[in-house]
Structure 1
Amino acid sequence: MPSNTPPVPRVKRRGRLAVGALVTALFGQLMTGTAVAAPAAEVKAETLLAGRIAWAPCESPSGEGTFECATVKVPVDWKRPNGARFDLALARHRATDPARRIGSLLVNPGGPGGSGVDFTFMAPDSFSPELLERFDIVGFDPRGVARSNPVVCDEDRVNTQNALLYPDSASSFAALRKANRALGENCRDLTGPLADHMDTGSVVRDMDAIRAGLGERRITYYGVSYGTAIGQQYAERYPHRVRAMTLDSNMDHSLGAWGFQKTETIGVEESYGQFADWCARTPSCALHDRDARAVFDTLYKRAEAGELVEPGDPPRTVTPEDLQSAALSNMYDPAGWFGFAQALADLEAGVPAAARSVRKYGEPTEYPFNSVMCQDYDFGVSSYRTLARFQRELGRLAPVTRFSTLGWTVQNGCQDWPSEVNNPQRRLQVDGTPPILMTNSRYDPATPHSWGSNAAKQIGREAVFLTYDGVGHGDYWLSPCARDAIDTYLVTLKTPRKGTHCPAVWPTGPSAQRQSPSGGLVNPLPELLGTGTYGRAG
């Protein structure tokens, strides 16, 4: 959220989705979309490719592991498949037991804006030995992201939008609309035509081109957060091209503006409540002898009055949105709760914060979030009066955290965005796939449990829904039980029973490294989706 250093470009669009670098050690992290119905006549992906994907050895940023990289040319506009094309970037980690290889496992880490190539580079530390042995892990940077013709925008305009995302009057709401349109037009000018073709339906078509280039008749897929939107819509459009599909921390693309705000807000409020209850029963929590709900409420009121200042050089005034974003981002993974509690305690006591790095203004910056969200969701709000009514009602639903900064900024950042909503909300219509394993945490601040439950109901008999009864985003790295169920299913196609619940896992001590309880695997989502990337999401 806004800070005295230039904010990290977030997920914005009709509202951005971002959680930026916030009140010092506190902060970080999401979202999603759905697919378009297939046109009457569709060009098969195989006909667009000259042949199989041409892989070549490449090196990960860490220099560790053995990988191959490649590109696939896909149309900028799938309605004009013979028109302009661009290179979609891929990376692959080969199965470590070739004799028992099942096939390719396509993966996506969410965002929108998370790099599937980087996700693949992290696969040896983040996926189980079973998956690494049996599958080629294949990730791609979705259109407009990272190495795939990234959407770029002027950072001054990004920061201008950031500063206006929480309007408090009709005039400031009008200023936000103007800034959104100016930013969207600037992104289009700097990026080219691809900026207007960033919807999830187009990503689904790209993924099928990857399938064709891999020579696979059917794909195996793991998507988390926004990656579930890609998977849901792929299953809808190409049901007979799915071997197995795990959708972890699900989006619900059927929600209108109020439903989206309400469920996002409840997700954050309930997750923070779980944090407060954990702190009350955990002696080593910095707020153990306090009511963490009351602490947050007091800090919020001080911030509202302009009286909450973080000491430093220079000192920084902390806004209510800073606090809300901190609460949101720190609910993604309870592994950081000891540090979050200490940060709240330090903020209350006026302890100086660590130094923050300074970013430069006025430079092109990669910023794909709005270009996806604003083409996937029609969240038009008719007036500031409607927006203010939303905020009052959300405050009644969530008396501690008030509303979700993620949901709020996604909505607000897309008001008057210049691109068409190419892939507006609707219910899923999936028919003819094998069983699809869907998982959600009971307390997820980004993709609430109700989203997963509702998406599973829309999919119907093909869906097998598993609930992790803890807090967080990305069940594979939060729950050994969920991870085992996912691994078993992807390898053997055996699903858990419908309605399965996995027990909550609570942090027992501070952790320097974000290792999941699932066999010591490293949770890649904070790095891929958190501060310093494109936004948070999903």
Structure 2
Amino acid sequence: MPVRKALLALPAAFAVAVAPAWSGGTGAAAARQAPPLAAPAVAAPGSATGGKGLRWEACAGVSTPDLRCARVTVPLDHRRPRGRTISVVISRLAATDPARRRGVLLTTGGGPGGPGVPLPASLAPALSAEVRARYDLVGFDMRFVERSTPIGCGQPEEEPGGFWVRPAAPGRFPAEAAEARRYAEACVRASGWALPHATTANAARDMDLIRAALGEEKISYLGGSYAGLLGTVYGTLFPHRVDRFVLDSPVNADTIWRPYEMGRTPAFEEGTVALAAWAAGRHSEYGLGETPAQVRAMLIEILDRAARAPIVIGGHAWTAGELGALLVAGIYDERAFGVVAAAFAAVAAGREPSLPFPIRPPRPEGVPGVPADHHTATNIAYRCADAPWPRDPRVYLRDIASQRDRHPLFGPVNANINPCAFWPPARDEPVRLDGNRAPAALVVAALRDVAVPPSVSRAVAARIRGSRLVTIDAHTHAPFPHYGNACLNATVTHYLTTGELPAADTAC
């Protein structure tokens, strides 16, 4: 039987990169959570106020000479602060006007699993001179990401998009469940010492040790997608340390991860319709079909072919997973429509597609010790440890059947079993957004966002009392600042430089 569901729900970091840049059921376990553990707000070992005790040096894998890096030592287990330690690497671009400097603007990558050390260098040219004058831009690789004690799962290469997912092909569930179990067991063999501690809450506790190491009373923050989620978790644990927070298309901590993945399935379907309509209007250029229905059918036919057997073109065997990753990259951002349509047209004609981005995350150049499957391993580690996942395979089978009827293209994939069903228990508790008592934040969203639908960003803004939501009418993800909307960028700039939020939610 043809397999029409080999599509990937990619982590947000992938979409940002190509656009310009998971014991029991979930409900009862979450309801019994203990109060969140907050790390003591003290400097990390070897640090000092003002960051003077940090050793600043060149950043591995980054060519920007003004960007300097340092290591902050943090506990592997924040419940045992005097036990085993790991290091988290931070980077810094100094504020351009020391006389007007307000403090630090912290940032990191999405995903989870995207690097943050290089971000100050790429953000600086896109930020206003007023923001650059007032803030040191500080990036960091979260625990277990790239420069920060990286982990792997013993696999020879990354998964497409750096995200473990299988197509929920009819009749294939036992084999896919067995593969998920084998992957989880391999991760335990390779990095079992780290897996219970790979949580967003621990990354937030690391953030507060970074703040202390830099000698700051409070921090400002800019986080997109998953990194926006991390910002809300930090605000929940350390509300008195929050200064000015910009949460761009933030994931809702109350729904991670399985409810969130399944909840955004309709947006994936809508994104495919948008891509198909765009390509149909350019049939003379791409030849994928004269109507959206014809384009969609062509995309499915290509995926079906690849699911039966990889499509060999120019010495490369294109798998359904790789082509699914390519399709999701397209539906995440309208600026990728042309690249993705051209690639599928090339595959349909037997020509080698030309892509400006890799389908599988590459190893970071100049960063030693990063395992071959690092980004996939880190992404799945955080998703599995952040919140409980169903252990009963019947839950997944039920949801697959339900989703197949309602959302046949993406529903079964997003509902399918994955290694989290077999993951070792985390030594942490979920930190829910409904406990957030941080100062008001500025929340940003695009109205046709597929990766984080705008309803999710609205829910985050509503949970953090007094926050304001700024939206743009665009089919993109995490739009500040690179999408280039002048109204949006000016609103964020005004907030970062003055601390004044809009009087009401704003549509740019």
Which residue of structure 1 lines up, in the alignment, with residue 27 of structure 2? none
1:267 aligns with 2:272: no
**1:278 Cα deviation after fit:** 4.0
Which residue of structure 1 lines up, in the alignment, with residue 294 of structure 2? 294
**1:373 Cα deviation after fit:** 0.9
Among 463, 473, 486, the residue aligned to 2:467: 463
| Range moving further from structure 2, 227-236 or 301-310 | 301-310
Output the CA distance in 1 between the equivalents of 2:48 and 2:346.
59
Output the CA distance in 1 between the equivalents of 2:256 and 2:280.
36
Q: Secondary structure at the residue paired with 1:247?
A: strand
**1:139 Cα deviation after fit:** 0.8
**1:279 Cα deviation after fit:** 4.3
CA gap 1:50/1:338 in 2 versus in 1, 3 angstroms: closer
**1:131 Cα deviation after fit:** 2.2
Q: How does 1:161-240 map to 2 (within 5 A)?
A: 166=168, 168-188=171-191, 193-240=193-240
CA offsets per residue over residues 43-99 of structure 1, 9 Å max, x none? 332485652332424257453341222111111100001112122111100111222
Q: Secondary structure at the residue paired with 1:470?
A: coil
Structure 2: stretches of 5+ with no match in the other structure? 1-7, 23-29, 364-370
CA offsets per residue over residues 89-141 of structure 1, 9 Å max, x none? 11100111222212110011212111111112323334333322221000111
1:441 aligns with 2:442: no
Amino acid at match of 1:267: A
Q: Secondary structure at the residue paired with 1:270?
A: helix
Output the CA distance in 2 between the equivalents of 1:417 and 1:30.
30
Output the CA distance in 2 between the equivalents of 1:165 and 1:186.
26
1:51 aligns with 2:61: no
CA gap 1:30/1:97 in 2 versus in 1, 3 angstroms: closer
Which residue of structure 2 lines up, in the alignment, with residue 312 of structure 1? 313
Q: How does 1:132-531 map to 2 (within 5 A)?
A: 132-156=132-156, 166=168, 168-188=171-191, 193-255=193-255, 259-279=259-279, 286=286, 290-301=290-301, 303-304=303-304, 310-314=311-315, 316=317, 318-319=319-320, 321-353=321-353, 365-366=373-374, 367-380=377-390, 382-383=392-393, 385-398=394-407, 401-403=409-411, 407=414, 412-420=418-426, 422-424=428-430, 426-431=432-437, 433-459=438-464, 461-476=465-480, 477-478=482-483, 479-502=485-508
Amino acid at match of 1:466: V
CA offsets per residue over residues 204-253 of structure 1, 9 Å max, x none? 11101111111111110001111112100111111111111011111122
Which residue of structure 1 lines up, in the alignment, with residue 74 of structure 2? 74
**1:415 Cα deviation after fit:** 1.5
**1:308 Cα deviation after fit:** 8.0
Query: How many pairs does the alignment contain?
Result: 471
Contact preservation (8 Å) 2:281, 2:291? no
Per the normalisation by structure 1, the TM-score is: 0.76
Output the CA distance in 2 between the equivalents of 1:112 and 1:75.
20
Per the normalisation by structure 2, the TM-score is: 0.81
Output the CA distance in 2 between the equivalents of 1:485 and 1:222.
14
Contact preservation (8 Å) 1:20, 1:29? no
CA gap 1:293/1:490 in 2 versus in 1, 3 angstroms: farther
Amino acid at match of 2:502: P
**1:463 Cα deviation after fit:** 2.1
**1:322 Cα deviation after fit:** 4.2
CA RMSD across the alignment: 3.8
**1:143 Cα deviation after fit:** 0.6
| Range moving further from structure 2, 112-121 or 253-262 | 253-262
Output the CA distance in 2 between the equivalents of 1:326 and 1:342.
11
Output the CA distance in 2 between the equivalents of 1:276 and 1:16.
19
Q: Secondary structure at the residue paired with 2:436?
A: coil
CA gap 1:281/1:357 in 2 versus in 1, 3 angstroms: closer
CA offsets per residue over residues 296-331 of structure 1, 9 Å max, x none? 223314533657864524463642x44443221123
Output the CA distance in 1 between the equivalents of 2:382 and 2:311.
34
Output the CA distance in 2 between the equivalents of 1:105 and 1:18.
21
CA offsets per residue over residues 361-384 of structure 1, 9 Å max, x none? xx754231121111113221522x
Output the CA distance in 1 between the equivalents of 2:500 and 2:214.
25
Contact preservation (8 Å) 2:72, 2:89? yes
CA gap 1:318/1:28 in 2 versus in 1, 3 angstroms: farther
Output the CA distance in 2 between the equivalents of 1:17 and 1:391.
20
Output the CA distance in 2 between the equivalents of 1:47 and 1:156.
35
Which residue of structure 1 lines up, in the alignment, with residue 25 of structure 2? none
Contact preservation (8 Å) 1:112, 1:226? yes
Amino acid at match of 2:134: R
Q: Secondary structure at the residue paired with 1:273?
A: helix
Output the CA distance in 1 between the equivalents of 2:140 and 2:34.
21
Output the CA distance in 2 between the equivalents of 1:364 and 1:498.
47
Greater RCO (CA < 8 Å, at least 6 residues apart): 1
Output the CA distance in 2 between the equivalents of 1:100 and 1:284.
55
Q: Secondary structure at the residue paired with 2:468?
A: strand
Contact preservation (8 Å) 1:280, 1:291? yes
| Range moving further from structure 2, 230-239 or 284-293 | 284-293
CA gap 1:369/1:377 in 2 versus in 1, 3 angstroms: same
**1:201 Cα deviation after fit:** 0.8
**1:387 Cα deviation after fit:** 2.6
Q: Secondary structure at the residue paired with 1:467?
A: strand
Output the CA distance in 2 between the equivalents of 1:344 and 1:276.
12
Contact preservation (8 Å) 2:310, 2:318? yes
CA gap 1:490/1:404 in 2 versus in 1, 3 angstroms: farther
Q: How does 1:18-57 map to 2 (within 5 A)?
A: 37-39=35-37, 43-46=40-43, 50-52=47-49, 53=51, 54-57=54-57
Contact preservation (8 Å) 1:257, 1:380? no
| Range moving further from structure 2, 260-269 or 43-52 | 43-52
Which residue of structure 1 lines up, in the alignment, with residue 120 of structure 2? 120
Output the CA distance in 2 between the equivalents of 1:285 and 1:136.
46
Output the CA distance in 2 between the equivalents of 1:374 and 1:307.
30
CA gap 1:47/1:108 in 2 versus in 1, 3 angstroms: closer
Contact preservation (8 Å) 1:250, 1:452? yes
Contact preservation (8 Å) 1:65, 1:124? no
